[in-house]
Chains A and B, each alone.
Chain A
Amino acid sequence: MRVLGIETSCDETGVAVYDGDTGLLAHAVHSQVDLHATYGGVVPELASRDHVRRVLPLTEQVLAEAGLEREALDAVAYTRGPGLVGALLVGASVARSLAWARGLPALGVHHMEAHLLAPLLEDDPPAFPFVALLISGGHTLLVQVAGVGRYRALGESVDDAVGEAFDKTAKLLDLPYPGGPQLERLAAEGAPDRYRFPRPMTDRPGLDFSFSGLKTFTRNLVRDAGDEPGARADIARGFQDAVADTLAIKCRRALQHTGAQRLVVAGGVSANRALRRRIDAVAAELGATVHYPRPALCTDNGAMIAYCGYRRLAAGERGDIAFDVTARWPLETLREPG
């Protein structure tokens, strides 16, 4: 079964073709970063306007790269949620209509399920069960994964998502949007021990996160530091270390709590190298392995949607021609495929 996957939940248009026998055939992503940079954040209407111009050109691009005609597709998967409703509707409309017109099965898939299954696209995929840490601009989630569709939420952010905290902190440091990667670069020049940020919610049991306090902490440090050279890099370093430590502490707890031997880390923030080092160290102490998707599949992409769709479509799941999308969709409400 060859599945076309279409992702339009936020500010990246992603399209891919996954083949159940031969794996990922091609994928392409168009990032809207430049479009939103002026505004310092994603403008939903601009995102939707861009998606509607990108989905089919990207689809044609991936089919050409895969050496396939459009008639060679067997099914279509698209992101149903969670995400920006207007943006999701673009991908859903194209995908569902395309499938209907060719009499193909179609399915709306869960964006976060797709993220946590993304490492299964790699050559050395983790076996079930595992613990997944999903970290992006919109999500911070620890999940116990017994199998496809068998999820138990262990913890989540009670306020800002970790990627959001990176972007907001970067803004306080006068770094251009999107600030996450910029902050990582600046932090690499900073001194590790000059600023000691709190490790939020690590002094009590539980697996929830809170990152909004770090932003306030940063704001005060930036104000007090004034124009002092080097201070911004030191602040960036302190912030990043605090986030990495906090996530690593919660991962340790989650692995210990569940007895899992494998940890999946996915989502855009999982590309952060400092964070990976901390998490790898914690996992090594516990004798657990860590699995990351390749960098291109850490951020939003169509490959994970095609793959996630494949797992469910191949088990016989089908979406109705009355399609819908949803801004909120708890991962725990998902069921095993079929």
Chain B
Amino acid sequence: MADSGTRRPPVLAVDTATDACSVAAGAGGAEAWRHAVAPRGHAARVLAMIDEVLAELGVQVADLGGVAWCHGPGAFTGVRIAAGVAQGIAWAHRLPVIGVSTLAVLAQGAHRRFGATRVRVAMDARMGEVYWGEYALEEASALMRATAADRVCRPEAVPEAGAGEAWGGVGTGWGAYGEILAARCPGPERLDPEALPDARDLIPLARERLERGDVVAARDAVPVYLRDRVTG
């Protein structure tokens, strides 16, 4: 985790897209973090958690290199709380914003926690659908990259897994629609149907984006819902 040469400014990472309320900060990887499962408690907790994380690192908001957040998919209201928090903090100090897919963060977490190199992410999207993402490790960067576009679909409609490399399945969709998904994608090497995104896994993904200049201004930090049909 040691940085060579001049210390890069740390990135703040915020996620409230699911039942988890998760915050982390760090220059290379996550160096301080807070994580709580707090359904409907995000607004009450998120700023205090950010306050604690920055205090632990001994940095001020103005010292940050950028603000990263899970831009969705996820619970609409939760995704917007993170959007508001990222917008507000970044705007206050003219910081760049990095929005990252919640599914990418779950995949990155699977790599961190059990070394997965291929991951099929399924989040329960309610209404008989899942948010679905397919990710594979890029060895050089140690980052999980999407091998297909994130989507929302019925579990019966996820792409079938062919025989070949070992892979893991993570996310609440594997709990809600385990049998249907297993019929489409049999034989995961490892399954974690309770996995929730962790802001620690946002840091490396956001860091790389920040270095590439793949960022937006606070005013342009808007959610990616995937589910865009929300009226009858």
Q: Which residues of A contact B (CB under 8 A)?
A: 39, 43, 45-46, 48-49, 52-53, 55-57, 59-60, 70, 85-86, 89-102, 321-325
Contact = CB atoms under 8 A, between A and B. Distances in A.
Given A48-B76, A52-B223, A94 B84 contact: yes
B93 A90 contact: no
B77 A97 contact: no
Nearest to A48: B80
B219 A98 contact: no
Contacts of A101: 61, 88-89, 92-93
Contacts of A52: 80, 83-84, 87, 222-223
Main secondary structure of the interface of A (DSSP, over half): helix
A85 B50 CA distance: 23
B112 interface: no
Nearest to A36: B231
B219 A325 contact: no
A94 to B, nearest CB: 4
Interface of B: 43-45, 47-48, 50-51, 61, 76-77, 80-81, 83-89, 91-94, 218-219, 222-223, 225, 230-231
Contacts of A90: 80, 83-84
Contacts of A53: 222
Contact of B80 (A56, A57, A86, A100): A86
A48 B61 CA distance: 27
A56 B77 contact: no
A94 B51 contact: no
Contacts of A94: 84-85, 87-88, 91
Contacts of A99: 88
A216 B223 CA distance: 42
Contacts of B92: 70, 97-98, 101-102
Given A45-B76, A92-B84, A323-B47, A59 B222 contact: no
Contact of B84 (A39, A57, A93, A321): A93
Given A92-B84, A102-B92, A322 B77 contact: no
A56 B43 contact: no
A60 B220 CA distance: 12
Given A60-B219, A322-B43, A323-B44, A97 B76 contact: no
Given A94-B87, A98-B89, A323-B44, A89 B80 contact: yes
26 contacts: A43-B231, A45-B76, A49-B230, A52-B83, A52-B84, A57-B219, A70-B91, A70-B92, A89-B84, A90-B80, A90-B83, A91-B84, A93-B80, A93-B83, A93-B85, A97-B87, A97-B88, A97-B92, A98-B88, A100-B47, A100-B89, A101-B89, A102-B92, A102-B93, A323-B44, A324-B44
A287 to B, nearest CB: 48
A56 B231 contact: no
B77 A89 contact: yes
Given A48-B76, A52-B222, A43 B230 contact: yes
Contacts of B223: 49, 52
A70 B94 CA distance: 10
A321 B219 contact: no
Nearest to B89: A101
Q: Considering the complex of A and B, which 3 residue pairs feature the smallest CB-CB distances, nearest first?
A: A93-B84, A97-B88, A101-B92
B6 to A, nearest CB: 24
A90 B81 CA distance: 6
B44 A322 contact: yes
A96 B219 contact: no
A57 B220 CA distance: 9
